[in-house]
Amino acid sequence: MIDVSKDLFGDLLALPDGIFTRRDALRAGLRDRVISAALRRGLITRVCRGTYAAPGPWTVEEHRRILALAALRAYEDAVLVGASAVAAHGLPLYRVPVLPGDIARPVEREARTAELRIRPLRHAVVSTGWGPANELPGSLVQLTMDHGVITGIVSVDAAMHGGLVTEAEMRATMDRVAGWPYASRFRCALAWADGRSESPGESVTRATLLGAGFDVESQVPVADRDGEVFAYADLGIVGTRVLVEFDGKVKYADGGADALFREKKREDRIRARGFVVVRVTWADLFHPELIVRAIREALAEAA
Protein backbone atom coordinates (compact mmCIF):
# COMPACT_ATOMS: atom_id res chain seq x y z
CA MET A 1 0.00 0.00 0.00
CA ILE A 2 1.29 3.45 -0.90
CA ASP A 3 1.59 5.79 2.08
CA VAL A 4 0.20 9.20 1.12
CA SER A 5 -0.82 12.20 3.18
CA LYS A 6 -2.32 15.59 2.45
CA ASP A 7 1.02 17.18 3.32
CA LEU A 8 2.49 15.74 0.11
CA PHE A 9 0.17 18.00 -1.91
CA GLY A 10 0.44 21.16 0.21
CA ASP A 11 2.67 23.06 -2.20
CA LEU A 12 0.65 21.93 -5.22
CA LEU A 13 -2.67 22.98 -3.67
CA ALA A 14 -1.09 26.37 -2.92
CA LEU A 15 -0.71 27.01 -6.66
CA PRO A 16 -3.02 29.67 -8.18
CA ASP A 17 -6.71 28.85 -7.63
CA GLY A 18 -5.75 25.66 -5.78
CA ILE A 19 -5.50 23.72 -9.04
CA PHE A 20 -2.55 21.64 -10.17
CA THR A 21 -1.88 19.45 -13.17
CA ARG A 22 -0.34 16.03 -13.57
CA ARG A 23 2.72 17.79 -15.02
CA ASP A 24 2.97 19.91 -11.85
CA ALA A 25 2.81 16.76 -9.71
CA LEU A 26 5.46 14.96 -11.74
CA ARG A 27 7.77 17.98 -11.49
CA ALA A 28 7.26 17.88 -7.72
CA GLY A 29 8.39 14.25 -7.67
CA LEU A 30 4.94 12.67 -7.22
CA ARG A 31 4.27 9.73 -9.53
CA ASP A 32 0.96 8.64 -11.03
CA ARG A 33 0.52 5.90 -8.43
CA VAL A 34 0.73 8.52 -5.66
CA ILE A 35 -1.89 10.69 -7.39
CA SER A 36 -4.15 7.66 -7.79
CA ALA A 37 -3.77 6.74 -4.12
CA ALA A 38 -4.55 10.30 -3.05
CA LEU A 39 -7.68 10.27 -5.24
CA ARG A 40 -8.85 6.99 -3.66
CA ARG A 41 -8.36 8.41 -0.16
CA GLY A 42 -10.20 11.63 -1.02
CA LEU A 43 -7.19 13.84 -0.37
CA ILE A 44 -7.57 15.45 -3.79
CA THR A 45 -10.25 15.35 -6.49
CA ARG A 46 -10.03 15.23 -10.27
CA VAL A 47 -11.48 18.32 -11.92
CA CYS A 48 -10.95 17.42 -15.57
CA ARG A 49 -8.32 15.75 -17.74
CA GLY A 50 -5.02 15.82 -15.86
CA THR A 51 -6.08 18.51 -13.34
CA TYR A 52 -6.72 18.21 -9.63
CA ALA A 53 -7.83 20.29 -6.64
CA ALA A 54 -8.71 19.92 -2.99
CA PRO A 55 -12.13 18.26 -2.55
CA GLY A 56 -15.20 20.51 -2.12
CA PRO A 57 -17.85 21.11 -1.06
CA TRP A 58 -18.27 23.70 -3.79
CA THR A 59 -21.25 25.80 -4.68
CA VAL A 60 -22.45 25.51 -8.27
CA GLU A 61 -20.75 28.82 -9.07
CA GLU A 62 -17.49 27.73 -7.43
CA HIS A 63 -17.50 24.40 -9.27
CA ARG A 64 -18.16 26.13 -12.60
CA ARG A 65 -15.24 28.50 -12.04
CA ILE A 66 -12.85 25.76 -10.89
CA LEU A 67 -13.76 23.61 -13.90
CA ALA A 68 -13.22 26.52 -16.30
CA LEU A 69 -9.83 27.36 -14.80
CA ALA A 70 -8.80 23.72 -14.80
CA ALA A 71 -9.81 23.33 -18.46
CA LEU A 72 -7.66 26.31 -19.41
CA ARG A 73 -4.80 24.77 -17.44
CA ALA A 74 -5.26 21.35 -19.10
CA TYR A 75 -5.47 22.72 -22.65
CA GLU A 76 -3.14 25.65 -23.16
CA ASP A 77 -4.79 26.55 -26.50
CA ALA A 78 -8.32 26.53 -25.03
CA VAL A 79 -10.81 29.40 -24.84
CA LEU A 80 -13.96 29.49 -22.72
CA VAL A 81 -17.19 29.51 -24.74
CA GLY A 82 -20.95 29.22 -24.18
CA ALA A 83 -22.09 29.02 -20.57
CA SER A 84 -18.51 28.94 -19.26
CA ALA A 85 -17.71 32.17 -21.10
CA VAL A 86 -20.93 33.88 -19.97
CA ALA A 87 -20.03 33.07 -16.36
CA ALA A 88 -16.47 34.30 -16.95
CA HIS A 89 -17.92 37.62 -18.14
CA GLY A 90 -19.58 37.92 -14.73
CA LEU A 91 -23.18 37.28 -15.79
CA PRO A 92 -25.77 35.09 -14.05
CA LEU A 93 -26.79 31.72 -15.41
CA TYR A 94 -30.23 30.21 -14.93
CA ARG A 95 -30.64 26.43 -14.69
CA VAL A 96 -27.39 25.58 -16.44
CA PRO A 97 -25.65 22.44 -15.13
CA VAL A 98 -21.95 22.66 -14.34
CA LEU A 99 -21.15 19.68 -16.56
CA PRO A 100 -20.14 19.74 -19.28
CA GLY A 101 -17.95 22.83 -19.17
CA ASP A 102 -17.61 24.56 -22.54
CA ILE A 103 -14.30 25.35 -24.22
CA ALA A 104 -13.14 25.88 -27.80
CA ARG A 105 -9.86 24.89 -29.38
CA PRO A 106 -8.44 25.03 -32.91
CA VAL A 107 -10.13 21.75 -33.88
CA GLU A 108 -12.36 20.89 -36.82
CA ARG A 109 -15.22 19.14 -35.03
CA GLU A 110 -16.79 18.94 -31.60
CA ALA A 111 -15.51 16.39 -29.09
CA ARG A 112 -16.37 15.49 -25.50
CA THR A 113 -14.64 14.27 -22.41
CA ALA A 114 -16.29 13.28 -19.14
CA GLU A 115 -16.30 16.91 -17.97
CA LEU A 116 -15.92 19.08 -21.07
CA ARG A 117 -17.50 19.85 -24.42
CA ILE A 118 -14.73 20.93 -26.82
CA ARG A 119 -15.85 22.98 -29.82
CA PRO A 120 -14.14 24.52 -32.83
CA LEU A 121 -13.09 28.11 -32.21
CA ARG A 122 -15.47 30.42 -34.12
CA HIS A 123 -15.76 33.81 -32.41
CA ALA A 124 -13.37 36.57 -31.41
CA VAL A 125 -11.46 36.07 -28.15
CA VAL A 126 -11.20 38.55 -25.27
CA SER A 127 -9.65 38.50 -21.81
CA THR A 128 -11.75 37.92 -18.69
CA GLY A 129 -10.98 37.47 -15.02
CA TRP A 130 -11.01 33.72 -15.59
CA GLY A 131 -8.85 33.76 -18.71
CA PRO A 132 -9.42 33.89 -22.48
CA ALA A 133 -13.06 33.63 -23.54
CA ASN A 134 -15.25 34.24 -26.54
CA GLU A 135 -16.51 37.79 -26.83
CA LEU A 136 -19.79 38.27 -25.00
CA PRO A 137 -22.35 38.44 -27.86
CA GLY A 138 -21.16 35.15 -29.33
CA SER A 139 -21.11 33.57 -25.88
CA LEU A 140 -24.71 34.59 -25.24
CA VAL A 141 -25.79 33.18 -28.59
CA GLN A 142 -24.10 29.85 -27.87
CA LEU A 143 -25.57 29.71 -24.35
CA THR A 144 -29.09 30.21 -25.70
CA MET A 145 -28.71 27.65 -28.46
CA ASP A 146 -27.41 25.12 -25.92
CA HIS A 147 -29.83 25.71 -23.03
CA GLY A 148 -32.97 27.35 -24.39
CA VAL A 149 -34.84 30.63 -24.62
CA ILE A 150 -35.49 31.37 -20.95
CA THR A 151 -31.90 30.64 -19.94
CA GLY A 152 -30.74 32.97 -22.72
CA ILE A 153 -33.13 35.74 -21.70
CA VAL A 154 -31.79 35.79 -18.13
CA SER A 155 -28.19 36.32 -19.23
CA VAL A 156 -29.02 38.66 -22.13
CA ASP A 157 -31.15 40.82 -19.82
CA ALA A 158 -28.29 41.05 -17.32
CA ALA A 159 -25.77 41.90 -20.05
CA MET A 160 -27.98 44.66 -21.47
CA HIS A 161 -28.87 45.97 -17.99
CA GLY A 162 -25.18 46.25 -17.15
CA GLY A 163 -24.35 47.97 -20.43
CA LEU A 164 -22.06 45.12 -21.48
CA VAL A 165 -23.74 44.61 -24.86
CA THR A 166 -26.10 46.54 -27.08
CA GLU A 167 -29.07 45.22 -28.99
CA ALA A 168 -27.30 46.14 -32.23
CA GLU A 169 -24.30 43.99 -31.28
CA MET A 170 -26.58 41.10 -30.44
CA ARG A 171 -28.46 41.38 -33.73
CA ALA A 172 -25.21 41.50 -35.72
CA THR A 173 -24.04 38.31 -34.03
CA MET A 174 -27.43 36.69 -34.58
CA ASP A 175 -27.19 37.42 -38.30
CA ARG A 176 -23.81 35.65 -38.45
CA VAL A 177 -25.24 32.43 -37.00
CA ALA A 178 -28.66 32.55 -38.67
CA GLY A 179 -28.15 29.18 -40.38
CA TRP A 180 -26.86 27.32 -37.33
CA PRO A 181 -28.97 24.65 -35.58
CA TYR A 182 -31.16 26.14 -32.85
CA ALA A 183 -30.34 29.73 -33.88
CA SER A 184 -34.08 30.42 -33.69
CA ARG A 185 -33.83 30.09 -29.91
CA PHE A 186 -31.64 33.15 -29.74
CA ARG A 187 -33.90 35.06 -32.13
CA CYS A 188 -36.78 34.50 -29.71
CA ALA A 189 -34.66 35.32 -26.65
CA LEU A 190 -33.54 38.61 -28.16
CA ALA A 191 -37.10 39.53 -29.13
CA TRP A 192 -38.19 39.02 -25.51
CA ALA A 193 -35.09 40.46 -23.83
CA ASP A 194 -35.37 43.65 -21.78
CA GLY A 195 -32.38 45.43 -20.28
CA ARG A 196 -34.62 47.06 -17.67
CA SER A 197 -34.90 43.74 -15.84
CA GLU A 198 -33.16 43.92 -12.48
CA SER A 199 -32.86 40.24 -11.51
CA PRO A 200 -32.88 36.74 -13.00
CA GLY A 201 -36.18 36.01 -11.28
CA GLU A 202 -37.77 39.05 -12.84
CA SER A 203 -36.48 37.96 -16.27
CA VAL A 204 -37.88 34.44 -15.89
CA THR A 205 -41.23 35.77 -14.69
CA ARG A 206 -41.49 38.09 -17.68
CA ALA A 207 -40.56 35.32 -20.11
CA THR A 208 -43.13 33.01 -18.53
CA LEU A 209 -45.88 35.60 -18.96
CA LEU A 210 -44.85 36.44 -22.53
CA GLY A 211 -44.87 32.75 -23.35
CA ALA A 212 -48.42 32.50 -21.96
CA GLY A 213 -49.55 35.26 -24.30
CA PHE A 214 -49.64 38.24 -21.94
CA ASP A 215 -48.42 41.66 -23.07
CA VAL A 216 -45.90 42.62 -20.41
CA GLU A 217 -43.86 45.74 -19.68
CA SER A 218 -40.99 46.22 -17.24
CA GLN A 219 -40.41 48.80 -14.50
CA VAL A 220 -43.92 50.25 -14.50
CA PRO A 221 -44.09 53.68 -12.82
CA VAL A 222 -46.75 54.20 -10.13
CA ALA A 223 -47.71 57.80 -9.34
CA ASP A 224 -49.69 59.38 -6.52
CA ARG A 225 -52.70 61.63 -7.03
CA ASP A 226 -50.44 64.59 -7.77
CA GLY A 227 -48.69 62.67 -10.56
CA GLU A 228 -45.45 62.15 -8.65
CA VAL A 229 -43.94 58.70 -9.24
CA PHE A 230 -43.28 56.99 -5.90
CA ALA A 231 -42.60 53.42 -7.02
CA TYR A 232 -41.68 51.23 -9.96
CA ALA A 233 -43.26 47.79 -10.17
CA ASP A 234 -41.14 45.01 -11.64
CA LEU A 235 -43.71 44.14 -14.31
CA GLY A 236 -47.15 45.13 -15.47
CA ILE A 237 -49.77 43.67 -17.77
CA VAL A 238 -50.12 46.30 -20.49
CA GLY A 239 -53.45 48.11 -20.55
CA THR A 240 -54.54 46.81 -17.13
CA ARG A 241 -54.18 47.64 -13.43
CA VAL A 242 -52.32 44.39 -12.73
CA LEU A 243 -48.73 44.64 -11.52
CA VAL A 244 -46.28 41.82 -10.84
CA GLU A 245 -43.53 41.90 -8.23
CA PHE A 246 -40.84 39.24 -8.08
CA ASP A 247 -40.20 38.46 -4.42
CA GLY A 248 -36.96 36.50 -4.71
CA LYS A 249 -34.61 39.47 -4.71
CA VAL A 250 -32.20 40.04 -1.87
CA LYS A 251 -33.76 43.43 -1.30
CA TYR A 252 -34.77 42.61 2.28
CA ALA A 253 -31.67 40.66 3.28
CA ASP A 254 -29.73 43.49 4.89
CA GLY A 255 -32.66 45.58 6.06
CA GLY A 256 -34.34 43.05 8.34
CA ALA A 257 -37.71 43.93 9.81
CA ASP A 258 -37.40 47.58 8.79
CA ALA A 259 -36.99 46.64 5.13
CA LEU A 260 -39.99 44.31 5.28
CA PHE A 261 -42.07 47.06 6.89
CA ARG A 262 -41.07 49.58 4.23
CA GLU A 263 -41.92 47.13 1.48
CA LYS A 264 -45.35 46.47 2.98
CA LYS A 265 -46.04 50.21 3.22
CA ARG A 266 -44.92 50.63 -0.40
CA GLU A 267 -47.22 47.85 -1.59
CA ASP A 268 -50.15 49.19 0.46
CA ARG A 269 -49.64 52.55 -1.22
CA ILE A 270 -49.60 50.92 -4.66
CA ARG A 271 -52.81 49.00 -3.92
CA ALA A 272 -54.43 52.19 -2.68
CA ARG A 273 -53.95 53.61 -6.18
CA GLY A 274 -56.24 50.89 -7.52
CA PHE A 275 -53.64 48.33 -8.65
CA VAL A 276 -53.85 44.59 -8.09
CA VAL A 277 -50.40 43.25 -7.14
CA VAL A 278 -49.33 39.67 -7.82
CA ARG A 279 -46.23 38.46 -6.02
CA VAL A 280 -44.06 35.74 -7.57
CA THR A 281 -41.42 33.75 -5.67
CA TRP A 282 -38.55 31.50 -6.75
CA ALA A 283 -40.68 28.46 -5.91
CA ASP A 284 -43.37 29.71 -8.30
CA LEU A 285 -40.90 29.73 -11.20
CA PHE A 286 -40.88 25.92 -11.10
CA HIS A 287 -44.67 25.93 -11.53
CA PRO A 288 -45.42 28.44 -14.29
CA GLU A 289 -49.03 27.34 -14.44
CA LEU A 290 -49.52 28.81 -10.96
CA ILE A 291 -48.15 32.17 -12.13
CA VAL A 292 -50.48 32.19 -15.15
CA ARG A 293 -53.46 31.30 -12.98
CA ALA A 294 -52.63 34.07 -10.50
CA ILE A 295 -52.42 36.64 -13.31
CA ARG A 296 -55.77 35.57 -14.76
CA GLU A 297 -57.40 35.81 -11.34
CA ALA A 298 -55.85 39.27 -10.85
CA LEU A 299 -57.13 40.41 -14.25
CA ALA A 300 -60.63 39.27 -13.29
CA GLU A 301 -60.34 41.14 -9.99
CA ALA A 302 -59.08 44.31 -11.70
CA ALA A 303 -61.77 44.28 -14.40
Contact assessment for residue 140 and residue 133, using Cβ atoms and an 8 Å cutoff: no
Paired residues of 103 in beta bridges: 80, 118
Long-range contacts of 27-36 (CB under 8 A, 24+ apart): 33/2, 34/2, 34/4, 34/8
Task: Residue 52: name the closest of 19, 84, 89 by CA.
Answer: 19
Identify the CA nearest to 12 among candidates 1, 34, 124. Answer: 34
Kindly list the strands in the beta sheet with 45-48, ordered across the sheet, starting from the edge strand earlier in the chain. 19-21, 51-53, 45-48
Give the pTM. Answer: 0.91
Q: pLDDT tens string for the chain (303 positions)?
A: 566 777 889 999 999 899 999 999 999 999 999 999 999 999 999 999 999 999 989 999 999 999 999 999 999 999 999 999 999 999 999 999 999 999 999 999 999 999 999 999 988 899 999 999 999 999 999 999 999 999 999 999 999 999 999 999 999 998 988 888 899 999 999 999 999 999 999 999 999 999 999 999 999 999 999 999 999 999 999 999 999 999 865 454 555 566 676 777 888 899 999 999 999 999 999 999 999 999 999 999 998
pLDDT at 181: 87
Angle at 265 between CA 214 and CA 209, to 5 degrees: 10
Q: What is the CA radius of gyration of the chain?
A: 24
Residue-level pLDDT at 96: 98
Of 80, 60, 50, 59, nearest in space to 68 by CA: 80
Cα distance between residue 82 and residue 269, in whole Å? 44
The structural domains of the chain, ordered by start, are 6-53 (no CATH), 60-192 (no CATH), 200-302 (3.40.960.10)
pLDDT value for 202: 96
Q: Which stretch of DSSP H or E encloses residue 300?
A: helix 288-302
